[in-house]
Structure 1
């Protein structure tokens, strides 16, 4: 079976390269989304199908994220937000969680020193309850955020120890404190003002939400911000997500007519 798959890949690879070039040409003639948010799903199922460990599946998922970051930069997409680890994920097997923490520590340190990040002036930020993470992971996050805090050409948000409902509760608490302290008048509160109390305060809402693995749900990700986002679900596990899949998602976004609830 493996030789047949290798032969298939050998034959189709140049064809996909031609198709990708055609897609890129089409996409660059249309509106490019400002903000893409991605729910990276399917690492463990990908690993199970290949007969490898879940930890190896997560490692390959981390490698895929590096590729996707490159693709967004190529298209000039200003903001990419990815759902990396939810607060519910802490309930997984302790060894799996420990491996993920090791990956976060390693990858945030790597990001902080990545030439591509600095050449493109990409600001890295983590959305979530960082206080729930191990000290070593928090230090790596702080290092990456500090090294890129002056950049504003592109924004790369990673939701870690994140929950959408908790983000809203966090925002409400901070807003309530400001009302109590006399900094905000109750009658001045509207959607625009409340948005400033969210983790994504100074960013545009996502234009496109993309989820891999075939699951069709939001899973508590950016609940306030996705009210008028376009949704795109693809039946491919995250580590197997290809550039052509990404380009098709962007093209699908361009072909839609956004109504913003009208």
Structure 2
């Protein structure tokens, strides 16, 4: 593994010129080499993506909206592989909001068909999730899906339930407010359960932040704290995605690139920025420790 000094040197060299990275087109071997270098430094444990811009991308390319969503799926595979090569433990993607059911019926139907087919494709034998040992979690109010999609979700999760190297959270149909509301409801049910059992002498526990956090859908499925949240397409809002998880120590990044075009050189500057902040934090901790020892 590269020495910390070497990594810091690389970060300081690359960071001021990160805009150049977005213009480069290099071979796949060179891309893997770059990812290998980045992976030698500090790596976030959990990265979330608001995959925004599929429809505007499609309109700009003269394509159908459904084709834009299809290209967005290809971008998901591309970005997921980048994250896995960087040894990022958990990736969460905002695939379908509960409010998206209000979109035109033709688009919603096409999205349901895409979700059903791609869920099974993601988990097919020898595919990306199996190659990297990724466990798939579908996070959200799944009962809102058509039965055929619910069946595909169950099969996809069952196919990957034995994988334990990484986690992919596909959030659909999802909203952060719904996740928090469900967590609070679960907490209340657990707290009141002993009171309904007359043979139980267990005291009613207090509901704290930690209690609610532990009952979030994503946390219950093994997700670590969220380190980075990325939204594409130039829109600067969170749109009800992981609001609880990103309230503390989460770096927010808003990329102007539409999601179907998002790739390695959009993501590298984000990782460099996160690594730079980690190194500065570690350096400050070390300096404070040195000062206290010298007093």
What range is the shorter-chain TM-score in?
A: 0.7 to 0.9
- Name the structure 1 match of 2:247: 227
Secondary structure, in 3 states, of the residue corresponding to 1:161?
coil
Which residue number corresponds to residue 255 of structure 1?
276
Q: CA deviation at 1:256?
A: 2.1
User: What SS does the aligned partner of 1:218 have?
Assistant: coil
Structure 2 distance, partners of 1:186, 1:232, is 41
Q: 1:142 aligns with which of 154, 157, 161?
A: 154
Matched-pair contact (CA < 8 Å) for 1:16–1:244: no
Matched pairs, number: 248
- Cα-Cα RMSD: 2.2
Contact 2:187 2:207 in 1 (8 A): no
CA contact (8 A) 2:101 2:108 kept: yes
Which residue pairs with 1:205 in the alignment?
225
**Equivalent in 90, 100, 108 of residue 89 of structure 1:** 100
CA distance in structure 2 between the partners assigned to 1:15 and 1:129 by the alignment:
41
1:29-68 deviation per Cα after TM superposition (whole angstroms, max 9, x unaligned): 4210000000000000111111111111111001111111
TM value normalised by structure 1 = 0.88
| Alpha-carbon shift at residue 175 of structure 1 (Å) | 0.9
The 1-side partners of 2:67 and 2:156 are apart by 24
Distance 1:193 1:135 in 2: 32
Runs of 4+ in structure 1 deviating by more than 6 angstroms, as ranges, are none
- 3-state SS in 2 of match to 1:70: helix
Q: What's the CA shift for 1:190? A: 2.2
Instruction: State the partner residue of 1:98.
Output: 109
SS at 1:169's partner residue?
Answer: helix
Instruction: Specify the alignment match of 1:159 in structure 2.
Output: 171
- The higher radius of gyration belongs to 2
CA separation in 1, counterparts of 2:124 and 2:179?
29
SS at match of 2:194: coil
CA contact (8 A) 2:96 2:173 kept: yes
The alignment's TM-score, normalised by the length of structure 2, stands at 0.78
